[in-house]
Amino acid sequence: MQLKDIARILEAEVLTCEDKLNCTVEAACGCDLISDMLAFTKEKMIVLTGLVSPQIIRAAEMVDLSGVVFVRGKRPTPDIIELSEELGIPIMCTHYPLYESAGLLFAAGLPGWRHWPRAVGGSEDAP
């Protein structure tokens, strides 16, 4: 699945880094805690989050994330948009809540990190 498919499925508005819409995404994770995100995501993954904070973008850059989706109609503030452009982390906004967003992507074939053979440390320390 590509980022642009995710935007289509979630009827999301892409706010930054439109040049990366063709990037491949292999898995997704829903998290509202920064340390969870650092523990359970990797490159070629996206995060669905209701947490609107610049630290989401900073953490996303640390794990080489492919993108961040803000759910439930939450709008990132200008400092978040600026940081996402500076660090090259695409962000999009969907009106769907977290649960529906995850369900839609999962139903479309995008797995969670557990199913992903390259997940750090395997599945034994999954949440």
Partner 1 sequence: MRLEFPVAGRDFQAAGGAAQKIKRTLRQIGIDAETARRVGIVAYEAEMNIVIHAFSGKVGVDILPERINVFAYDQGPGIADIDLAMQVGYSTAPEDIKEMGFGAGLGLPNMKRYSDNLVIESEVGCGTSIRAVINLPTKEGS
Residue type at 49 in one-letter notation: T
* Site map 74..103 versus partner 1, x via CB under 8 A: -------------x----------------
H/E run at residue 40: helix 34-40
Instruction: For residue 66, count CB atoms less than 10 angstroms from its CB and return exposed for 0-12, middle for 13-18, buried for 19 or more.
Output: buried
CB 54 within 8 A of CB 79: yes
* Closer residue to partner 1, CB minimum distance, 98 or 104: 98
Among 1, 9, 23, 61, contact with partner 1 (rule: CB under 8 A) = 61
User: In the complex, which residue's CB is closest to ligand ATP?
Assistant: 35
Residue 32 contact among ligand ATP, partner 1, none, beta carbon within 5 to 8 Å by kind:
partner 1
